[in-house]
Amino acid sequence: MDVHVTIEDNQARFLRCIGEATRLRILKLLAGGERCVGEIVEFLDKEQSSVSHHLRALKDCNIVVVRQEAQKIYYALADPGLAELVLKIEDIMKEVPLCHNLAGDCE
């Protein structure tokens, strides 16, 4: 099979993991400190199951770390650099407009 994983494959996987609206919102939330699943679900107003799947995806990419306390499970950013990265992205996107060609409005 010779599945040769390149540096770009890994970086791309990482970016795709971050590149999902719900997961991006989770990252922004966690930038403010760790949260348990219940809090994240409430914040997102989405199905608990869906959130759980997203959290797993983030965990599989080592973007978040997990801590258990009694029945509750807390998620936190694995690295403070991730919060900076999100800021950097927002920064760049001010100069690289993307509304173009998108369905719907962008105010």
Partner DNA sequence: CATTCATATAAATGGATGTTCATGTAACCA
Partner DNA sequence: TGGTTACATGAACATCCATTTATATGAATG
29 near DNA (CB under 7 A): no
Phi, psi of 97 (to 5 degrees): -65, 145
Name the DSSP class of 75.
E
Residues in CB range of 17: below 8 A, 6 or more apart:
23, 57, 58, 60, 61, 63
Shortest distance in whole angstroms from residue 67 CB to DNA: 10
81 near its own copies (CB under 8 A): yes
- Judged by CB under 8 A, how many residues of this single chain contact its own copies? 51
Q: According to CB under 7 A, which residues from 67 to 96 bind DNA?
A: 70-73
What stretch of H or E contains 95?
A: helix 81-95
63 near its own copies (CB under 8 A): yes
11 near its own copies (CB under 8 A): yes
6 near its own copies (CB under 8 A): yes
